[in-house]
Amino acid sequence: MNQEGLRKDWDTYFMDIAYMVSTRSQCSRRHVGSVLVQGKKLLGTAYNGAPMGVPDCSEAGCMIVEEYELKQTEGQEEMVKKQRCIRTIHAEQNLLLFTDRIDREGSTVYVTDQPCWTCANMLANSGVKEIVYHRGYPKDSEKVQQLMQHKGLLFRCLSGYQPPEQTLMNVIS
Ligand SMILES: [Zn+2]
Ligand SMILES: [Zn+2]
């Protein structure tokens, strides 16, 4: 392989950084990282976590809520009980809290996981023009895809991408 072949493309480069950032998360259920990119310039990084100065999941434990979700399997609808940790501010929301609107206009967000409905809704109003994610989030996928289409935002899954091995942590699912 020549040097050009070994060199990471930009998608891989920024998604690797998002995964690196996700390792800062203290929630034992989810490690999500996101980065803001303008042109080829990194303008912000964020992960899911409790507000600053407030005990996080590693100190206070996850704050679990149980919800029933409608799941479709082979045309059958089924209610499944799911647990979620609500202690953290999501990575995408933290990214919006710690970046400036002017930096976000026309920018790209790389995020390790497909945004949930609330994050997608906020991103759609944030000036960001493109969202690139890796792992899927089936629960909200359909309505999020529709929103992105409606808003004219580029919404891409990096299929075939392999995260750096040291960034994958054990999580309870
Ligand atoms: Zn947690
Ligand atoms: Zn979210």
Rounded to the nearest angstrom, the distance between the alpha carbon of 9 and the centre of ligand 2 is 27
Query: pLDDT at position 169, please?
Result: 74
Query: pLDDT at position 14, please?
Result: 98
More confident site: 139 or 49: 49
Q: Between vectors from CA 16 to CA 13 and to CA 19, what angle results, nearest 5°?
A: 155
Rounded to the nearest angstrom, the distance between the alpha carbon of 33 and the centre of ligand 1 is 14
Query: pLDDT at position 1, please?
Result: 47
User: pTM for the complete prediction?
Assistant: 0.90
- Interval 110-146: pLDDT, tens: 999 999 999 999 999 999 999 999 999 998 999 999 9
Interacting residues of 4 by C-beta distance below 8 A, sequence separation 6+: none
Assign 35 to helix, strand or coil.
Answer: strand
Contact criterion met (CB below 8 Å) for 47 and 22: yes
Active site residues: 92
Q: Is 85 annotated as a binding residue?
A: no
Which ligand is in closest contact with the Cα of 89? 2
* Whole-number Cα distances in Å, 163 to 73, 82, 122: 29, 26, 26
Rounded to the nearest angstrom, the distance between the alpha carbon of 86 and the centre of ligand 1 is 7
pLDDT band at 173 (very low <50, low <70, confident <90, very high): low
19: its two tokens = 């995964």
Q: Is 90 annotated as a binding residue?
A: yes
Average pLDDT rounded to a whole number, residues 51-55: 95
Q: Is 150 annotated as a binding residue?
A: no
- Tell me phi and psi for residue 34, to 5 degrees: -145, 150
d(CA 53, CA 49): 11
